[in-house]
Structure 1
């Protein structure tokens, strides 16, 4: 209960009022008691000095005039008890006849009588037991002097204080009742005051708790202009600022999460304990790991299998800066891992951030570039070597032998044609790459183009005792083509089929329409292509059997050119083959007329 500030307020108010009332009550009772006791003392002193002492001292010898002294006491007519004591401590006169001739020491305090005989006016409050009651009394003694100034006795006065103490008790009860009433009022007022103070604080506390749970639409009602009102105003101001800040943070977080989730590069963040604290989808895809695997498996375990130089243990020992770049190979992919540390608010390293970039295509293109340069060099070197060797032979005297000279010149001419074909193909590829080809697209009949291509190569096939057949149910198939380029592609495909089909083989050409698409299939029963070579067939200078291809006069660029021409017509070309059984080349071309002529 006392953990509540409301009850603390009430307790403090209660104690303050209680202490104040006790102090005031004790002070009043003490002052009241002192005042009344003082009044009694003054009355007794006045009675003694004005009425009794002068008359008693005027008589003279106390023992000899006992009767006269008793008469003086009887005439005093007061309620106080009066006793006259001689030097022998014997009572010679008293308002209470039962006390005559008794020793005063047996009745009152001896010290008090002694002080009287010493010439002092003394007083003392005491208690007298009267049957079943105890009475408070005030005792006073006054010295009785003789004519010569000697003290011949004492006058003892005793006043009943019962009424005074009864009044004091009544006053105490009244003050106690007033204190209780004041305390009750204090508790009620303290509760109301405490509630007026604590209700806004409780409201702020409740709404702050809701804010802690994520509900920031909290407004505290401002009921005053005091400190509590200022607290409410500051809470509302804080709420607005917090909402704005959190909204901005949420927006930035959303942007960052979107960027991280949809960025092509993989990103991994790891803390010092080797726990993956973030990994975007690209990183999980690159490493072929699920979200649970990344979170549960220690970073050093799975990254160490790929490249131990990226483990935290290795970096601690060999790379204190935790910055650098390494290559990761995962299955058939190659990734470049760039890493750097992230730091905490003190500037100490808190972990490592790694960005994974897929450089598979870049590496592949780099390899293709190197291979392309090597192939071009080789393709040019072979005919140039032949031309040079035959030319040198002719210059050394072979010209005199006409038959030999003609044979050498035919070889030189053939090699020059081979170089010309290579240069022509390279120039055509370059034009296609740099979109410099002038396309002569117009309405054309694909059936006629295919028939012309088959007709042109039919004799070549027959020379190898091959059977070439065109199979189609279409009489006409109009489309928007560059007829010469499409014919070049079909001739290239048919030429390859003739080259790589043994003598006596069969080549079938299928032409069909599927919706608004034309499908040309060139199928042979030749040597086929190994499965691992199929993805690279459209690469420049790529040959499955390099030596045999060169013997057959191929440059290795035909399919690359064919692919670019077909794609320029928004079509597709692909190859399906079973090694040792045959090959099928499929060309798909749209038949719809385009809104504009495409120029590359």
Structure 2
């Protein structure tokens, strides 16, 4: 048995290595051909697309008597830019596909008619490419004054095949080298796994026979070593534990009644012997005292995301651990074990179930996974753009200066976007961990809002928008971090500018609330930023302040945002003891309300 496991581990390791290398090699080779075909078309489109200088020159030569030779000279002058070499040639065909001239001698029987040539005969540009074909070709029609010709460029792909064969040879060598290493490592891995399992099995057999004094030698400190030590301890205490179970039963019943974990004991027929208060609260409305039994309990659980671990003691009793879902809003860690009890001097086997509420842990894990996925997605997009631009600049030395500046601009722009994302993430991290550098001071909130409105007027005027500040008091003194509060307001107003159409208006209302509000204790300042923009769907409002949440998937990236601004605004506001909320209707507009205490409980702290 263990010998077969030994070789299964080796076989799995080797097959995995070969499969990975084969898949990587296949994808790599296919990607090379796809890239070559794409670049072939892109290179020729640059010089032969409608309106290009070369195409205009070729069209002008149709008026000459010997236009084929004239066009040949022009194409020869552009040979290096068109990539013409021993693998790539150009031909000048008449409107019926007959070859008139070319960069090499016209082959016997003329140039074979391809799908792209047929497309050019109909007046369209023929540039369709098939991955894996023997050649790639490109055909464009040239027409003027009732005369027409076809410029046909054909690449044999011999150079590409030579490169692919070299790449294939390297992959084969890598596979062979990796295979040798995989076999070598798998021998050691298989031995390291199976040897302690053999020892553990022999020890388990001794314990199952009741030989509790026997000890299994513990050589490792990993999980198997811990399990072995557990078996040794179990042999020492099992007799005493079995003897004490009955005496401890009544004591445990009292303890179970006050446990936060739910505990249920089931009889041999599945009926309930005991259920504590916590278990009843966990089942809520689903608990029916008349119907409740073991089968009914299992019917309430969803096992879609469960993991189970089954073990056996020396008497063959099994214990199952599962994470299950109860309804749509609660997740439980369920431990099910056998229970031996006395019923009228008859020893019977029942079940004991322990329920631990892990809803908060499950939601936290889910939020973390979503956050990591969102961060990865947000960083991957600019990184992909940077990689493409950098590879293009590195690959092609003759790129025009204007295009080079465009690519460099793309790189800088995407770097700026990543920097903004990282900066916002660091800000949120400091806020979450209470490591933010607060600079608390007393300032005039009305005056600060006025400066913000003046600063953003230029941006708003680009869309013919108006920003108006309304204040019930000429001066509202507030003690807070001025820079952070301004950051919150600027973020909200900037969003209003972005998502309000041209000619829209943005109104800012600020007032002093003397009495206690539902959101903030004591005196407070209230800021309302209202626009008549596109609005937000009602179903998106509850999740609006989540990190990276977007009402539309492309909305943030198109407007240059990071998807973190509202999250930062919420964290800063709540850190000051305030509250931020949003009301919106699609097609009508959005109103963001910020309520801040006049005196925050925060203190000035140095950056940690």
Task: Give the alignment's TM-score, normalised by structure 2.
Answer: 0.49
Task: Report the structure number with the largest CA radius of gyration.
Answer: 1
